[in-house]
């Protein structure tokens, strides 16, 4: 039997990784494709199990795979992919060092768009780039390679032929997603956990794929070619049931870019979750418009087990929202947060900073807006113009960093006209310090309840992670307000 090893390379990102360790869902999907093709598949997750590149080398030497694949992976979906690509390419180079006959592969958003750059860089050792949706492409490619056939007819791949880049046409998207399932049995489940009280084993799922919205900073529309497809509510509930009862999962993150697009379908999922009453809690992201649309059924979100709702508010002015092509306004952002608060949903909101027009005055305006809108948790991602997004072309003259490993929303990439890159780091720290200095009093004043314990726990791990990051940059950060650690311990 041929063997395929799927590698998650070591990479740390102080933003999302401080609060949990998510399983590599995308690789679990493509590993299932390898099994369908008759391969013995294995997932080696160096990122979440704290392993090194030398551990990857040792695993390749032990397992002796015929193919090694990596993915443009972070715990959430393609909107912030790119940062892990250099580490993924290094892992594939190690595979070639162990055995030049190993077929090396990579997939994901950045490889899909920049496959020629990857294949022609002499530092990389990639045989195949899988472009777009992976499952059917991977299964066919694995079969062809196992049988010694020609790869030219495999749609959705790119490779070098006689030193020249060859790219086959993109494959149509899978229309029926219900039969497409991850290889959950290949994961080391003890590694995946949510670090926020009440803690617990953590999984992520996709209930739908794609996004038709046009946010200029996001890769989803480009990667999914503007379409949106969904799994049935029945298949979605069955997967959650499997995760909870077979693998002991206690938290599920719904990482769809747009899970609530179809209200009728989404309400059916909520109703089924309420009826099942499984011992599991949910985290999810969706759009401001849909929270306003769902005002009359937000109680179902809560009753279904949704405890943490992430909303991309993104800006402090209507003009900036328009420049991002968000399709929302500040008033809509406020209405969505108010509705979520009224229905006892813990809210997390993002406010992006770091546009070319950024100034200290605009930074202060963003801080004031975050405090005024008052989400339970605020994050301040730095604008990161991925090379395949509309905003990249708009900002290209101000881009100062081309190392993809820094494209993690936590590192300044764009230099504003009126601020230095060092000042952007200082501004980033100030956003967090000012927001949580105000927020701490509110949280500490809450009576003992789920929300208070959850938020104190979240603040503790977030602020400790942010303090470590900012102080490494030489920025003093009294990030933990007085009394918060003791209150959390109590």
What are the tens digits of pLDDT across the range 197-242? 999 999 999 999 988 888 888 877 788 888 999 999 999 999 999 9
Q: Which candidate, 32, 43, 40, places its Cα nearest to that of 73?
A: 43
DSSP, collapsed to helix, strand or coil, labels residue 283 as strand
- Asked if residue 194 lies in contact with residue 19, where contact means CB atoms within 8 angstroms, the answer is yes
- Across the range 336-360, mean pLDDT stands at 96
From residue 43, give the alpha-carbon distance in Å to each of 2, 121, 162, 218, 409: 15, 26, 32, 28, 27
Q: Say which range, 268-272, 300-304, 320-324, 362-366, has the weakest mean pLDDT.
A: 320-324
Tokens of 74: 């972070």
CA dihedral for 277, 278, 280, 283, sign (positive or negative): negative
Rounded-to-integer distance, Cα 377 and Cα 420, Å: 27
pLDDT value for 79: 47
What long-range pairs does 328-333 form, CB within 8 A, spacing at least 24? 328/287, 328/288, 328/289, 330/369, 332/288, 332/289, 332/292, 333/288, 333/373
CA distance 384 to 355: 9
Confidence of residue 463 (pLDDT cuts 50, 70, 90): confident
- DSSP for 295-359 reads GGGHHHHHHTTEEEEEEEEE-SSHHHHHHTT----HHHHHHHHHHHHHTT-EEEEEE-B--TT--
Distance of alpha carbon 269 from alpha carbon 304, whole angstroms: 9
In 193-256, the DSSP E strands lie at: 193-194, 200-205, 208-210, 228-230, 251-254
Per the prediction, the chain carries an average pLDDT of: 92
pLDDT (mean) for 359-383: 96
- Given the structure tokens 């090396």, which residue do they identify? 104
**Could you give the CA distance from residue 7 to residue 63 in angstroms, rounded to a whole number?**
12
By CB neighbour count within 10 A (0-12 exposed, 13-18 middle, 19+ buried), where does 180 fall?
Answer: middle
Q: pLDDT confidence of 387, banded at 50, 70, 90?
A: confident
Highest mean pLDDT pick, 166-180, 397-411, 467-481: 166-180
447 burial class (0-12, 13-18, 19+ CB within 10 angstroms)? exposed
Q: How many CB atoms lie within 10 A of CB 275?
A: 10
Flag whether pLDDT at 319 surpasses 60: yes
In this predicted structure, the answer to whether residue 478 has a pLDDT above a threshold of 70 is: no
pLDDT for the residue numbered 332:
95
Please give the average per-residue pLDDT across 54-76, as a whole number: 91
Confidence category of residue 16, pLDDT binned at 50, 70, 90: low
Residues contacting residue 370 through CB under 8 Å, at least 6 positions apart: 316, 349, 351, 378, 380, 431, 435
Closest by alpha carbon to 290, among 378, 213, 203? 213
Question: 385 near 391, Cβ under 8 Å?
Answer: yes
Measured between alpha carbons, how far is 261 from 294 in angstroms, rounded to an integer?
11
Condensed to tens digits (0 to 9), the pLDDT of residues 122-167 reads: 999 999 999 999 999 999 999 999 999 999 999 999 999 999 999 9
Q: Residue 283: how many CB atoms within 10 A of its CB? A: 22
Q: What percent of the chain has pLDDT over 70?
A: 95
**Phi, psi (5° rounding) for residue 225?**
60, 35
- What pLDDT score was predicted for residue 485? 52
DSSP labels for 194-206?
A: E-STT-EEEEEE-
Give the single-character DSSP code of 405: G
Give the separation between CA 104 and CA 89, rounded to whole angstroms. Answer: 9
């Amino acid at each position: 039997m041929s063997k395929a090893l799927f590698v998650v390379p070591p990479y740390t990102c102080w933003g999302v990784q401080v609060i949990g360790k998510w399983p590599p869902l995308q690789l679990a999907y493509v590993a299932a494709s390898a099994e369908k093709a008759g391969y013995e598949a294995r997932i080696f997750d160096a990122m979440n199990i704290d392993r090194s590149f030398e551990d990857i080398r040792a695993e390749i030497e032990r397992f002796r795979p015929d193919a090694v694949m990596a993915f443009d992976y972070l715990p959430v979906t393609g909107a912030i992919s790119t940062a892990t690509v250099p580490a993924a390419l290094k892992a594939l180079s190690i595979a070639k060092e162990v055995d030049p006959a190993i077929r090396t592969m990579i997939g994901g958003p950045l490889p899909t768009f920049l496959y020629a750059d990857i294949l022609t860089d002499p530092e990389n050792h990639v045989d195949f780039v899988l472009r777009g949706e992976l499952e059917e492409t991977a299964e066919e490619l694995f079969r062809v390679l196992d049988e010694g056939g020609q790869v030219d007819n495999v749609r959705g791949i790119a490779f070098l032929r006689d030193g020249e880049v060859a790219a086959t046409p993109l494959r149509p998207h899978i229309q029926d997603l219900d039969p497409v399932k991850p290889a959950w049995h290949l994961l080391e489940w003890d590694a995946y956990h949510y670090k926020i009280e009440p803690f617990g084993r953590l999984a992520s799922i996709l209930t739908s794929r794609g996004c038709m919205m046009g946010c200029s900073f996001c890769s989803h529309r480009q990667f999914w070619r503007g379409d949106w497809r969904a799994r049935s509510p029945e298949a979605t509930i069955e997967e959650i049931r499997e995760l909870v009862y077979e693998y002991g999962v206690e938290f599920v993150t719904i990482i769809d870019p747009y899970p609530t697009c179809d209200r009728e379908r989404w309400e059916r999922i909520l109703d089924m979750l309420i009826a099942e009453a499984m011992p599991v809690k949910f985290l999810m992201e969706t759009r401001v418009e849909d929270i306003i649309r769902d005002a009359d059924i937000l109680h179902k979100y809560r009753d279904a087990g949704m405890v943490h709702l992430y909303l991309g508010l993104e800006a402090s002015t209507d003009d900036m929202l328009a420049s991002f092509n968000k399709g929302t306004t500040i008033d809509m952002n406020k209405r969505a947060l108010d509705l979520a608060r009224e229905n006892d949903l813990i809210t997390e909101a993002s406010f992006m900073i770091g546009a070319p027009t950024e100034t200290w005055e605009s930074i202060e305006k963003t801080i004031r807006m975050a405090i005024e809108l008052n989400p339970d948790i605020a994050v301040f991602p730095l604008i990161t113009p991925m090379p395949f997004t509309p905003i990249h072309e708009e900002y290209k003259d101000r881009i100062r960093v081309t190392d993809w490993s820094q494209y993690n929303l936590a590192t300044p990439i764009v230099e504003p006209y009126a601020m230095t890159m060092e000042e952007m780091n200082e501004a980033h720290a100030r956003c967090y310090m000012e927001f949580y200095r105000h927020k701490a009093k509110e949280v500490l004043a809450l009576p003992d309840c789920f929300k208070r314990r959850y938020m104190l726990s979240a603040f503790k791990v977030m602020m400790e992670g942010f303090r470590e990051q900012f102080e490494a940059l030489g920025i003093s950060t009294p990030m933990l307000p007085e009394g918060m650690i003791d209150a959390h311990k109590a």
